[in-house]
Structure 1
């Protein structure tokens, strides 16, 4: 018997040694000492605003670590009583409990200690998990494979106990386990189920979370509230059994109902979801270059976004777009809004649009191109959540119904930028990220219309023209070139007055005739060069129509260009992040914008002076900012409208904030039919007014209300244009027939 005992002992020791060294690659690798000392668990990377507000997270497993000091005693007591009552007595493996479990006597938690459970989660020991610990020849899901896995967990548990204190192991446990509902770690779980920090959990709440871990789906308080309550009460009885709660406390706690404040975190919720999605593209490139994992390294990313401005921007887009949608729906009531340039319904529009969707492509693949099956499922109705401006609703719709429904919704993009340092302060890429994923700030590019004209005037000022330079409102015809017919741009209202206007007046009134004359004088190639200098990276076709915004570009690019005017001629690349820290708050990288002097300080100032005319000159397209919104501060502005009112733009500048916005349909063929609704001054400008009202009202933001700063050196170009209007400011009679319909012509209540 002694010989057999000795042989058994030696065999056991040799087996454990063989497993620990992966003898002949039979058992799979074991973590090395470095991995053991620095076990890796997936931690969500957190995205913060410039003013310290958590905007959202990037994660595969939504986990934010908690320190031991943040864990309440009732949570620790519940865990010990439920999972490992001898935790303080063993060194990683509780042989007494193992023997009881083998003998069928049972105990709370079975034979695995807390330390073994930590090892199982940290090092992914179980077969089928993404770990190289299971790549041995004998590994598998059979009984031998299970024995090898348990042996590894015993070895790892003992090694963990040698390297970490009991407190550290408890902290590891609470930071690694899965609570279901996309909540990994107790910090996230407490927030998901109770909207609390762990330290604020009551004893019944702590018991519920501890009980969930055993089987997150089975004991979910959301899916199975009665079963979850029974499990919670069992945990409470265990706490009473081992002296952590009194009989009276047990009776009171088990009688309490489960009260949840359930909110599953996901990467589309929170402030600035469009911004965070675009930011991820940049961060993934950085992470690849620096060997980091954005979704598991627990990085802290500090962005340039101001949470207050972002909130106001999202509110402004929602308020304004809901009203515009109401008018748009009434405008097209009973009619199809997708029209060609002649106003006729585009045949087969929805069928063509459907063929571009992923759903259509998936159905074609699934049914091997059988169009009867594809069309059947495209027209089969399902109950689905849909977006409305009154809140999300469930409706019975087919995929074709859904496509038509969403095609009728107006889209929008909005961006606010600090021109002095390039920091993006607000970013709204659409009406609602959950239902409209496409970003209209940087991803989307549309014709900017007349918001491109300031680039033409920049070239003119830089070439020596004065804001006071007079030019008659007459036709300019571009001769035919390379088969292109002669081109005579018309004014918005059609026809030409023959009267003389200064360049400043012409820009304020957005007159096409004088812009066309400048394009001819300066040449399209010259203006395309200025566009590139000012930060327009999209291709600009150097043709006569480019002066009226015929080439597509993004709000992001336009904000970058206008910011150069405010920043004394220095182009500054927009930036989204100021710094990135690792999980231990060590700074990994700090970000500064690229800068380049592209205009003289004088030219830049003269452009801010020119843009102010839109808000101050009689006939200016943005006078409503002073007359309707009652802003008493200097503001530069430019409206933009494209053919058939497909795109409505507005750009607004103040001494420390540049804002760009666009509103239109998802497709260019979907738009209002008249300027009374569809032009930039009517459809886009009020969004800026609503946003700035909120920003000016919030004194904590500290937005500047000072005038635009003048250059340090005296101006060499005249700006006093009074002699051109008989010594007074714009005394030329204002002809209503000449002017486009503007908000200034409406009652203030219509804003």
Structure 2
């Protein structure tokens, strides 16, 4: 005892004890100050018991397959019973082997870390963090306190962790952890990670897949499976070894699993990427508008980013994939032909007027112009190069480009729109608003209004038949000059306006071959107002021009509205309004609102008219302007259709009508000053039709789609068949030829 007293009286011992006491007191006071909220409020047991985590809104296709999400944090929760046992085993074996034994803070692990890591400098000792401590960090994050930030955060997390252990069972803690833990690519929760990296629910994760995702938790960027399969696979094998070490997995099975290559099926739910981005953007827009009208049971407004809503849509993900593949196959080749047709002296080159006008419309040009600087100074500014991502059909790339370079690149690109609906309901099956949503946000299905060209002609003929004109009415293909419309002379493609012809076509021949001169003559006879009324009955609300060129499709109509009108030809003469959302539920599965098909209340035309027009549009496919569906693409399905090409080949259209699916495709340049160089390249049969053809070929290859591809049209009535039973064309008699004027002029009276 005396020796101890002597030892304690030594100066260095005294000071050592004093320093130790001060350190202990410091830690005690710091811990107490944190505990009582001096460094920010620590969540209470009650608050922890009422945890609310933001949940992503899920967008599902018609088969309840996840196609997109709206979120601040990409998170989807699961129940404990839905987690595979091997997922839990992998997590515990790798992240916290004593999880079931500690109360949130593993003192034994901390002591091991202190001795090995700090005293023995053994970096392999690992950390002392538990799953519960990690959960505390995931839930509340960390703050910067300037001094002792790490220590303060660790103490706060230990307090929260112990309170979590008081409030929740071990199973509930694992559930909270797996639903909130951050994975690679800014993904939160195991379900979101599983969907993103393996395109499946976490419920169906295999042992290697579960081990892969658990392995990323050590360093989500470094072990990102998308960025480095090799590193991720190596880390996966470490997790499998841990499972063997702690008796969660037999060594032989682990050894076999480690030989398997890591295969990921990456499926991004980024708003700009993934399947049907234009469709999802429109769903989001509609969801935001609709959900404002509804409140939660407690009276609060719904938040589409946080409340875990479930949106059921009409889209068919498999068909959408086929449609997108068809679009890529066709547009990538058409783009090459489009550029080649113009050669080196193309209108998008800097010395051309189209390019100069486009430059002057740039927001940056207009901003610089307002500053008063010279044109040369503006040009110099727009010529400064910087690193930027660019779209290309050969694959995205990064390049040093100026604003002028970028404009030249994008000015030449063709764009597209494609929409397929169920004609009986208007349910949207596929939706392509453009070639790539990342670079082209403008939606060519719902936003773009382009001249519809010859796709308008069936509406003119529908009005004519509905108002008593017979299918076997004959019209001369001769051009006519309409004197009361500035001597306007509509002609047919490739026809000399002064060329004398003696041929007369019946309506079927005229429509199936898209004869311009006859379409205008039919409009003249039936009247513009009657055609406008007919179109309104079919569901098109756009105000149409009251001029003879209406027959040739100068009206600018959205593709979405156009397809709803065309549905009437296979929907008992009723037009439909295309729709995309069938039901919205809250996160608990309670229905907030559901939607029914919007079918127009009245028939747009008679059964007789419908059957006549269908036969005419079948002829378009069988022998008319769309016959390459049969000859080139070998499609033998029941298809009616109509091609369309606008003036100067600015727009190419194709309407495909089948008994169970109506599809419209459009192709053109966003800059309306740029059309196709030649009609052969730009006509709808070449620019727009192949996209549908490729799509339908894909459907034909899988018997799953037989209800669509093998469906047949209704059988026409005897009256329809009898009225169509006449020669398609006939020549003028010799007497008529004798007195026929070389150049015919008249007034257009169809608007009187």
Q: TM (normalized to structure 2)?
A: 0.77
Q: 1:108 to 1:426 in 2, by over 3 A?
A: same
1:600 to 592, 596, 605: 605
Alignment-derived partner of residue 691 in structure 1: 695
CA distance in 2, matches of 1:157, 1:13: 14
Q: 1:196 to 1:705 in 2, by over 3 A?
A: closer
Q: Tell me the matched-pair count.
A: 689
Please say if 1:303 is aligned against 2:313.
yes
Per-residue deviation, 1:625: 3.2
Name stretches of at least 5 consecutive residues in structure 2 with no aligned partner. 1-25, 119-123, 295-300, 733-752
**What are the Cα deviations for residues 350-379 of structure 1, in whole angstroms up to 9, with x where unaligned?**
3442454567679999x9989878655643
Please say if 1:491 is aligned against 2:495.
no
CA distance in 2, matches of 1:227, 1:357: 45
Alignment-derived partner of residue 131 in structure 2: 114
Q: Look up the SS of the partner of 1:570 in the other structure.
A: coil
Please say if 1:60 is aligned against 2:72.
yes
1:440 to 433, 441, 444: 444
Per-residue deviation, 1:627: 4.1
Q: Look up the SS of the partner of 1:332 in the other structure.
A: helix
Alignment of 1:641-680 (within 5 A): 641-680=645-684
Alignment-derived partner of residue 317 in structure 1: 327
1:183 to 155, 170, 187: 187
CA distance in 2, matches of 1:288, 1:351: 45
**What are the Cα deviations for residues 132-190 of structure 1, in whole angstroms up to 9, with x where unaligned?**
xxxxxxxx835699999778756654554455321121121012111232222233435
Q: Look up the SS of the partner of 2:271 in the other structure.
A: coil
Alignment-derived partner of residue 536 in structure 1: 540
1:407 to 395, 408, 411: 411
Alignment of 1:72-471 (within 5 A): 75-77=87-89, 79-80=91-92, 83-84=95-96, 86-92=98-104, 113-122=130-139, 124=140, 126-127=142-143, 141=145, 157=161, 160-190=164-194, 209-210=213-214, 212-213=216-217, 216-217=220-221, 261=264, 263=266, 265=268, 266-290=270-294, 291-337=301-347, 347-357=352-362, 375-376=379-380, 378-382=382-386, 384-471=388-475
Q: 1:84 to 1:435 in 2, by over 3 A?
A: same
CA distance in 2, matches of 1:537, 1:55: 31
CA distance in 1, matches of 2:377, 2:353: 19
Alignment-derived partner of residue 618 in structure 2: 612
308-317 vs 107-116, which moves further: 107-116
Q: 1:550 to 1:142 in 2, by over 3 A?
A: same
Q: 1:145 to 1:544 in 2, by over 3 A?
A: same
Q: Look up the SS of the partner of 1:553 in the other structure.
A: strand
Per-residue deviation, 1:550: 0.9
CA distance in 1, matches of 2:369, 2:51: 46
Per-residue deviation, 1:433: 3.6
Q: Look up the SS of the partner of 1:446 in the other structure.
A: strand
CA distance in 1, matches of 2:239, 2:109: 19
Q: Look up the SS of the partner of 2:182 in the other structure.
A: coil
Q: Look up the SS of the partner of 1:659 in the other structure.
A: strand
Please say if 1:579 is aligned against 2:583.
yes
2:570 to 548, 566, 576: 566
Contact kept, 8 Å, 1:82 with 1:109, in 2: the verdict is no
Q: Look up the SS of the partner of 2:188 in the other structure.
A: coil
Q: 1:398 to 1:162 in 2, by over 3 A?
A: same
Alignment-derived partner of residue 342 in structure 1: none
Contact kept, 8 Å, 2:504 with 2:731, in 1: the verdict is no
CA distance in 2, matches of 1:466, 1:230: 76
67-76 vs 236-245, which moves further: 236-245
Contact kept, 8 Å, 1:56 with 1:269, in 2: the verdict is no
Q: 1:578 to 1:228 in 2, by over 3 A?
A: closer
414-423 vs 248-257, which moves further: 248-257
564-573 vs 88-97, which moves further: 88-97
1:513 to 497, 513, 517: 517
Q: 1:369 to 1:465 in 2, by over 3 A?
A: same
**Which protein is bigger by CA-based radius of gyration?**
2
Per-residue deviation, 1:559: 0.9
Q: Look up the SS of the partner of 1:535 in the other structure.
A: coil
279-288 vs 294-303, which moves further: 294-303
CA distance in 1, matches of 2:48, 2:614: 61
Per-residue deviation, 1:449: 0.6
Alignment-derived partner of residue 700 in structure 1: 704
Alignment-derived partner of residue 714 in structure 2: 709
Q: 1:553 to 1:227 in 2, by over 3 A?
A: closer
Q: Look up the SS of the partner of 2:703 in the other structure.
A: coil
Per-residue deviation, 1:387: 3.8
Per-residue deviation, 1:309: 2.7
Contact kept, 8 Å, 2:566 with 2:575, in 1: the verdict is no
Per-residue deviation, 1:553: 1.4
Contact kept, 8 Å, 1:382 with 1:398, in 2: the verdict is yes
CA distance in 2, matches of 1:473, 1:402: 46
CA distance in 1, matches of 2:89, 2:636: 62
Q: Look up the SS of the partner of 1:55 in the other structure.
A: strand
Per-residue deviation, 1:684: 2.3
1:681 to 674, 679, 685: 685
**What are the Cα deviations for residues 189-226 of structure 1, in whole angstroms up to 9, with x where unaligned?**
35656778757878887666546435534665777999
**What are the Cα deviations for residues 410-468 of structure 1, in whole angstroms up to 9, with x where unaligned?**
22222212111111222222334444443322222211111111112222222222222
Per-residue deviation, 1:534: 1.9
Contact kept, 8 Å, 2:414 with 2:668, in 1: the verdict is yes
Q: 1:696 to 1:89 in 2, by over 3 A?
A: closer
Per-residue deviation, 1:671: 2.3
Contact kept, 8 Å, 1:237 with 1:250, in 2: the verdict is no
Q: Look up the SS of the partner of 1:500 in the other structure.
A: strand
CA distance in 2, matches of 1:445, 1:258: 50
Per-residue deviation, 1:554: 1.9
Q: TM (normalized to structure 1)?
A: 0.77
- Aligned-CA RMSD value: 4.6
Contact kept, 8 Å, 1:45 with 1:297, in 2: the verdict is yes
Contact kept, 8 Å, 2:479 with 2:491, in 1: the verdict is yes
